[in-house]
Amino acid sequence: MMRRYCVLAALLLASAPLAARDKLHVYNWSEYLPDAVIEAFEVRCGCDLVYDVYTSNEELLAKLAAGATGYDVLVPTDYAVTALIARGQLLELDHSLIPNLRNLKPAFRDPSFDPGNRYSVAYAFGPTVLGYNVAKLESLGVPADSWAAIFEPEHLRKLKGRVTVLDDQRELIGVALIYLGYSPNDRDRAHWDRARDLILRAKPYWAAFNASNYATLLASGNVWVSHGYSVDIFQAAEEAAQAQAGIEIGYAIPAEGAYMSTDNMVIHKDAPNPRLAHEFIDFILDGEQSAVLSNEIGIGNPNAAAEPYIDEQVLGDPVLSPDGDVLRRLHSISELDARDRRDMNRLWTEIKVR
Asked if the domains 23-125+261-330 and 127-259+334-353 are classified in one and the same CATH topology, the answer is yes
Strands 330-331 and 258-267: parallel
Per-residue pLDDT, 153: 98
93: Cβ–Cβ under 8 A, 6 or more apart, which residues? 117, 118, 119, 120, 121, 267, 278, 281
Neighbours of 309 (CB within 10 A): 18
pTM attached to this predicted model: 0.84
In this structure, are residues 137 and 149 in contact, taking their beta carbons and an 8 Å threshold? Answer: yes
Per-residue pLDDT, 17: 47
What is the CATH code of the structural domain delimited by 23-125+261-330?
A: 3.40.190.10
Which residues of the chain carry a pLDDT beneath 50? 1-18
Per-residue pLDDT, 321: 82
* Average pLDDT of the chain, as a whole number: 93
Cα–Cα distance measured from residue 338 to residue 343, given in angstroms and rounded to the nearest whole number: 9
Cα–Cα distance measured from residue 153 to residue 149, given in angstroms and rounded to the nearest whole number: 9
Closest CA to 305 of 122, 80, 136: 122
Beta-ladder partners of 52: 27
Per-residue pLDDT, 31: 87
Cα–Cα distance measured from residue 323 to residue 301, given in angstroms and rounded to the nearest whole number: 12
Domain boundaries, the chain: 23-125+261-330, 127-259+334-353
In this structure, are residues 231 and 126 in contact, taking their beta carbons and an 8 Å threshold? Answer: yes
CATH topology of domain 127-259+334-353: D-Maltodextrin-Binding Protein; domain 2 (3.40.190)
Cα–Cα distance measured from residue 150 to residue 130, given in angstroms and rounded to the nearest whole number: 9
Strands 208-209 and 249-252: unpaired
Residue 225's Cβ-count burial label (10 Å; 0-12, 13-18, 19+) is buried
The letter for the amino acid at 328 is: R
The letter for the amino acid at 33 is: L
